[in-house]
Amino acid sequence: MTNSWTDIKNTDLIIVMGGNAAEAHPCGFKWVTEAKAQRGAKLIVVDPRFTRTASVADFYAPIRQGTDIAFLLGVIRYCIENDKIQHDYVRAFTNAPYLVKEGFSYQDGLFSGYDEAKRDYDRTSWEYELGPEGYVQVDETLQHPRSVYQLLKKHVAAYTPEMVERICGTPKDKYLAICKMIAECSARDRTMTSMYALGWTQHSKGSQNIRTMAMVQLLLGNIGVRGGGMNALRGHSNIQGLTDIGLMSDLIPGYLTIPKDKEVDFETYMSTRGFKPLRPNQMSYWQNYRKFMVSFLKSMWGPAATAENQFAYQWLPKLDVAGYDLLRIMDLMNQGKVNGYFCQGFNPLLSAPNRGKITASLSKLKFLVVMDPLQTETARFWKDEGVHNDVKPESIQTEVFELPTSCFAEDEGSLVNSGRWLQWHWAGQEPPGEAKADTWIMAQLHMRLRELYRKEGGAFPDPIVNLHWPYRDPLDPQPDEMAKEMNGYVVSTVTDPADPSKVLLEKGKQIDTFGQLRDDGSTACGCWIYSGSWTERGNMMARRDTSDPGNTGAYSNWAFSWPANRRILYNRASADLDGKAWDPKRKLIEWNGTAWTGYDVPDIAVNAKPRDVGPFIMNPEGSARLFSRGLMRDGPFPAHYEPFESPVANVMAPKIRGNPAARIFPADLAALGTSDKFPYAATSYRLTEHFHYWTKHVWVNAVLQPEFFVEISEQLAAEKNIQKGGWVKVSSNRGTVYAKAVVTKRIKPLICDGKTVHVVGIPLHWGFTGAARKGFGPNSLTPFVGDANTDTPEFKAFLVNVEPSNGPATS
Amino acid sequence: MGLQSQDFARISATNFRPPDVRHDFEVAKLIDVSKCIGCKACQAACLEWNNLREEVGINRGVYDNPHDLTPNSWTLMRFTEWENPESGNLEWLIRKDGCMHCADPGCLKACPSPGAIVQYNNGIVDFVSENCIGCGYCVKGCPFNIPRISQADHKAYKCTLCSDRVSVGQAPACAKACPTGAIVFGTKQAMLDHAQGRITDLKSRGFKNAGIYDPPGVGGTHVMYVLHHADQPQLYANLPNNPKISQVVELWKGLTKYAGMAAIGFAAAFAFVHGIVARRNDVSRAEDREAEHLIDEEAARGRQA
Amino acid sequence: MAVRREEERTTVDRYPGRVRVNHWVTAISLILLALSGAALFHPALFFLSGLFGGGSNTRALHPWIGVVLLASFAILFVQMVRYNFWAKVDTQWMRQIGDVMSGHEENLPEIGKYNGAQKIVFWLMTLLILVLFVTGLMIWYEYFGASFSIEQQRFGHILHALAAIAMLLVVIVHIYAGFYVRGTMSAMTEGKVTGGWAFRHHRLWLRKEAREGVIDERQAPPRHHGVGPAE
């Protein structure tokens, strides 16, 4: 989230698209009801199904899954056509006036530089035109044909309301009504908030889905303001924390990146991370990258990381490919190239696409370790459960270790919510039986491995034997110790160069903010964005002060919000060019002539003059990007691409299947189905009664939603002679599941490109362990392809067939 | 509970009305259907707080689970898909069903067991298990089809409005758990006032018949709804339009009870008086003698035949 | 069945043992039903549930007693129905019910085994027991709660209550008649009535019984071991 859950109460219009906030985030959804009840805010829902969120919406429109970009590019077109953009904001705070290099083009669904064999682009033409000083050329009038604004206008021209209806199946009148409601928020005193979740991310162009709405929000002037923003509703408790501390194959904590194997030393690594400003006077905050990186390395290897050994840069792993994401690792496993796999709080047998492939992959492991509070299906992937897990245990040689762990309620620590709040929590009770905290297990493993490496050596023992391990009990590190390490501390005393008697940073003290981090090894910090969370004043995450001066929804003394306890990112953009709030009723921070002051921690240097420094300080431009340069693999502008499995061809570019830049392994490409055999457009989702594959283990939740089902329209049910509550067989080119049929008015057939498209909804909460009835997950059906930028699997749009059935055969 | 007669407004099968002197204020739960997202947190909270164990059922092609109220499920979300003919829009009407805590409770009226159903001064209607005999009369008394009889212990169960929580100043578990504030709890007057604000908001969003459901036929209720279509409560999974205690039950528990007792008493009294004042209906000596003659005659005839 | 000349009196056999047993099972069931039913009917009588071990037991037992009643009455019905078909003379008798109530039965026509009032009691009991049983099933919540709609059950309740009241009125008439008409009780205790009673109340029946034979039990000389026919 750029903003926070509590900030949603400040909005005038909520658009829920690519998500189902009421269903999947009912507690956070209270802020939507607050905005509606207290401010008279309106709620729009755009979804293939009439969801629980739609049940309390003011306006609902259907859309075919996987066509959000077309819908939103059409919204941009509408706003430009009808002059409903916030001009001052767009001109000053975005890259709309910037000129793009000659040579950039978009034609027949492809941007310049496409290499079909590699399924990738040469992105060099997707760049700004730079002047002699290295700064971007700008046309403040926005008239230059190569200005981002004009390129965008040209790019969206094809997405007329008629085209949107043709692609998305959204009736034109409903579509235009939504455009009108959105466009009204271009006024300075109206804001819209976008709430989205996995309905946007789990597509082969998930990142671009989100980008398109971010562009809408920028054009409306809704980023950085109260009640605005791009608000990702995170799918798990602490999944925000997971990405923050770098639990991605290409990240290290604080969104620093894992080196590539070509980056043979630290200086090479840093040479592409200089982030020189692209406009005069800009902060380009990533210029501090070296400080964050060195402090990170110091926290990893402590005294062993020195200037002489490049702060142990060489001990970091190096990537030989873009990343070892879930799909790649499973594919490698399937090729027999992986010996062992640690599954920590993860149930890939039900969470990864194409379950058949996952079973085959796990079967090729020598060993599998599952660390989980629950008895997961993954730990039992070898078990013959009849139709619910049809395997031959005698043919599987994988050795499985199941280590029971404590659950969140039995642990102390912090959880990071969608709004970037680190909230400390305390253990509610002791874990049952032999369950141990994950940290305890990992520490035990580490200490034993370290001992083995010390005794026996090995190919490369250095990173392990030198790992900084300063915990009170090395076999059981405690949450407070780790939290302090994340915050950062002073390794050696730093004095003022002008006055050596003046101590700036005292050895052993916690640092207050990442502004104190240094690149000379005198500070250590596990995750720079968490700096400030546990300072000398104590645990900021444990704060529980509900005061909220000005009733802004910031609650600045409740817990800690990264970065720097800032509640709304880019909040400088809430004020105009001279530093006055766009909307005085929604003041966040203002320039008082000498400094920025207000309700939130300014997202800019406190004394940076308004017209000098742009609000988007993390970008070298200082502005937000409508044109994302070469930073996204699949295009500097979003473009409509069909899902890899789609009931209709891409009407904009009929030859292109899926996202042309998305990676797909050859065998998985062959496993895609077509609409002649699998005519129905399926999508997967959660239900509010359950959380993922966890709560089926809980009796109460099992009572509330006991059995696997799929949802179909009354029309499809009639066509296929399917009874409400009867059994159906749902199959894709990769697998088959049996489910009860929920026949509903909430799903209606769509007309796309003149063709009737039936939507099949497949919720995801059942497996073969737990208190609920045995069932299946949608991953038995879904394709093994991910987003071009993140490799998040395309769970939200695929093709199936549906037939009436007598239910799963019992043998 | 250690409650005394003065804590009650009514007690089932009891021939007096308690003095009700501690009647300070009435409480109410307001369920704002227009804010409800049907998440069933209230159902979960009810099961958890009351420590109930419902069966894991099956899917019957709808979201409603369990499929009906049971002795273990005292509240239930009921889902209705309705196409509004006026707007052409689909509406997914989700109503939390459960005891309405009527001011004039039909269950209490029907109950034959003294003290098995009570109404506290604050308006909560509660079942007292130790006095319940499991006859199921409350089921017939209720205009909302709420009480359920357990086949395990043959006691009637329903929502208590968390009388245990309310008695120590807490809101019912469902209200506490509701994530969107669709369930609110307070004094009845405060809830009526709150509802007015909600109705104004709904009217501004085009629901011109938005209103409160506080049916006068049962004297008002201590569980109320805010409905978008208050003119058509039956849309919400057959919420009764104008609920009243059934006339049949009124007759059974009213006139029949008194007239029946009177008729039997009168008959017994008449017999008693008649027995005392009427001439003895006894066999006289003469009749004994005549009987002998008759027997002889008839016996003789019998032999001839 | 027979008329017997005993030492001091003449008696007429009215009910064999099997009928008397049935009658008393029915009678006791009815009384228990009345007591338990009354406990559930009116709060003032709820104390009667104490006789059955409390409210829950009363609720549980009452319908089972009803089943016993139905069974025993069904047999009684078979045993008695042939004497209870309406005859012309019953209509005449009923017209003169005032003479019965004032003790002037000599004015009445001769009557067979049962008079009009007895037949009405018989048929009313039959009808009411049927109604009570059917409505009783409808409101027997433990087993039939799911078999009938709540509205049907509500009607079941009121019909059950009304039928029970009617039944009690009939029972009061029946019992009071037994007391008021002296000499009647022995019919259901010993199984026989005096000749004079039969002559006064059921003369046609007496004639019929006498025609079928009179057993003289006054001398009763022992002849052989074993008993032969009197004639």
| pLDDT, tens only, A173-201 | 999 999 999 999 999 999 999 999 999 99
d(CA B225, CA B212): 6
Give contacts of A704 with chain B, Cβ < 8 Å.
40, 43-44, 65
| Pairing mode, strands B8-11 and B117-120 | antiparallel
Nearest to A703 among B47, B83, B89 (CB): B47
Q: Assign 3-state DSSP to chain A and report helix, strand, coil percentages, each to 5.
A: 30, 20, 50
A810 pLDDT higher than 70: no
Nearest to A803 by CA among A744, A734, A736: A736
Q: DSSP for C37-80?
A: HHHHH-GGGGGGGGGGTSHHHHHHHHHHHHHHHHHHHHHHHHHH
Nearest CB among A27, A704, A709 relative to B179 is that of: A27
Q: C143 to chain B: nearest residue by CA?
A: B151
**Contact in structure between A319 and A258 (CB atoms under 8 Å):** yes
Query: B135 to each of A460, B125, B128, C144, how far by Cα in Å?
Result: 79, 18, 14, 12
Give A399's Cβ-side CA count (13 Å radius): 4
Amino acid letter for position A111: F
d(CA A306, CA A466): 12
CA angle, B9 then B10 then B13, to 5°: 165
| A230 contacts A1 by C-beta, under 8 angstroms | yes
User: Could you say which of C62, C174, C202, C224 is catalytic?
Assistant: C174
pLDDT above 70 covers a percentage of chain A that reads 100
Select from B192, B191, B231 the least CA-distant residue to B208: B231
What is the rounded distance in angstroms from the CA atom of residue A285 to the CA atom of residue A571?
15
Partner-chain contact B81 A745, CB within 8 Å: yes
pLDDT single digits (tens) A459-491: 999 999 999 999 999 999 999 999 999 999 999
pTM, to two decimals = 0.93
Q: Distance (Å, rounded) from C-alpha A677 to C-alpha C147?
A: 48
**Three-state secondary structure call for residue A684:** strand
For strand A680-685 and strand A596-598, is the pairing parallel, antiparallel, or unpaired? unpaired
- Determine the residue type at A402: E
Look up residue A143 and give its DSSP letter: -
Structure tokens that stand for A335 in this block = 């090729």
Backbone angle region of A704, left / alpha / beta, with phi > 0 → left and psi within -120 to 50 → alpha: alpha
Our measurement of the distance from residue A207's CA atom to the centroid of its chain's CA atoms, rounded to an integer in Å, reads 8
Q: Which single residue is written with the structure tokens 């008439």?
A: C173
Q: Which residue has the tokens 């000749």?
A: C195
- Spatial distance between the Cα atoms of A57 and A36, rounded to a whole number of angstroms: 10
Using CB atoms, which chains have 3+ pairs under 8 A with A?
B
| Phi, psi of A752, rounded to the nearest 5 degrees | -120, 125
Lay out the sheet containing C214-216: strands in order across: C192-194, C10-13, C3-5, C214-216
Handedness of CA A389, A392, A394, A400 (dihedral sign): negative
- Using a CB-CB cut-off of 8 Å, the residues of chain B touching A725 are 59-62
Q: How far is CA A724 from CA A430, A684, A744, A745, B62, in A?
A: 45, 20, 8, 12, 8
Q: Which residues of A123-143 are buried (b: 16+ CB within 10 A; e: fewer)?
A: bebbbbbeeeeebbbbbeebe
Residues 708-737 of A with CB under 8 A from B: 708-709, 723-726
| DSSP-based three-state secondary structure for A806 | coil
Instruction: Using alpha carbons, select from C85, C92, C179, C93 the residue that is nearest to residue C126.
Output: C85
What values do phi and psi take at A658, rounded to 5?
A: 65, -160
At A130, is the secondary structure helix, strand, or coil?
A: strand
* Each residue's pLDDT tens digit, A62-75: 999 999 999 999 99
Q: How confident is the model at residue B222 (pLDDT cuts 50, 70, 90)?
A: very high
Residue B291 distance to chain C (closest CA, Å): 5
Query: In this structure, what token pair is assigned to residue A46?
Result: 């755009």
When CB atoms are compared, the residue of C56, C100, C194 closest to B283 is C194
**Nearest-by-CA chain B residue for A52:** B37
Banded pLDDT at B3 (limits 50, 70, 90)? low
Backbone dihedral region of C218: left (phi > 0), alpha (psi from -120 to 50 degrees) or beta?
alpha
Above pLDDT 90, what percent of chain A?
98
Q: List pLDDT tens digits, range B273-304.
A: 998 888 888 888 888 999 999 998 888 888 88
**Chain B: nearest CA to A26, how far in angstroms?**
6
C174 belongs to the catalytic site: yes
| Residue closest to A61 by CA, chosen among A157, A180, A192, A185 | A180
Q: Find, among A100, A90, A18, A11, the residue nearest to A53 by Cα.
A: A18
How many C-beta atoms lie closer than 10 Å to residue A390's C-beta? Answer: 11
Q: Tens digit of pLDDT for each residue in A597-631?
A: 999 999 999 999 999 999 999 999 999 999 999 99
| pLDDT score recorded for residue A689 | 96
For residue C227, the model assigns a pLDDT of 44
- Where helices occur in A14-109 by DSSP H, the ranges are 21-24, 30-34, 52-55, 68-81, 87-93
- Indicate if the pLDDT at residue A811 is higher than 50: no
Whole-angstrom distance, CA of residue C208 vs CA of residue C2: 10
Residue B174: which of B25, B28, B26, B29 has the closest Cα? B29
d(CA A710, CA A696): 17
Closest CA to A681 of A44, A193, A64: A64
Mark out the alpha helices in A662-757 (DSSP H runs).
666-670, 699-704, 714-720
**Is pLDDT at B4 greater than 80 in this prediction?**
no
Q: Are A746 and A783 in contact (CB under 8 A)?
A: no
pLDDT score, position B20: 75
pLDDT tens readout for residues A89-135: 999 999 999 999 999 999 999 999 999 999 999 999 999 999 999 99
Q: Amino acid identity of B6? A: Q
Query: What do you get for the CA distance between the two ends of chain A, in Å?
Result: 49
B264 CB within 8 Å of a chain C CB: yes
The single residue listed with the structure tokens 């021209």 is: A157
Kindly list the residues from chain C whose CB atom is less than 8 angstroms away from the CB atom of residue B149.
141-142, 145
Low-confidence ranges of chain C (pLDDT < 70): 1, 220-231
Distance CA C38, CA A664 (A): 81
Find all residues with CB under 8 Å of A777, minimum gap 6, and list them: A350, A351, A355, A693, A737, A764, A765, A766, A767
Residue A662, C-beta contacts closer than 8 angstroms, at least 6 positions apart: A119, A204, A205, A634, A644, A785, A786, A787, A788
For residue B181, the chain A residues in CB contact (below 8 A) are 30, 33-34, 37
Q: What six digits make up the tokens of A294?
A: 């060195």
pLDDT for A455 beyond 90: yes
Across residues A230-241, what is the average pLDDT?
A: 92
Of A33, A58, A742, the CB nearest to B61: A742
| Partner residues linked to B93 by β-bridges | B80
- Residue B23 pLDDT > 80: no
pLDDT at position B304:
82
Question: Which pLDDT belongs to residue B15?
Answer: 81
Q: Using an 8 Å Cβ cutoff, are A668 and A128 in contact? A: no
Q: Give pLDDT tens digits for A216-231.
A: 999 999 999 999 999 9
For A:9-38, CB contacts with B below 8 A are 22-23, 26-27, 29-30, 32-34, 36-37
Among A632, A622, A761, A650, residue whose Cα is nearest residue A158: A650
The predicted model gives B229-247 an average pLDDT of: 96
Neighbours of B94 (CB within 10 A): 24
Among the listed residues B115, B160, B167, B109, the one whose alpha carbon sits nearest the alpha carbon of residue B138: B109
Distance in angstroms (rounded) separating the CA atoms of residues A353 and A502: 59
pLDDT at A289: 97
* CA torsion angle A75 A80 A86 A90 (round to 10): 100
Alpha carbons within 13 A on the beta-carbon side of A303 = 2
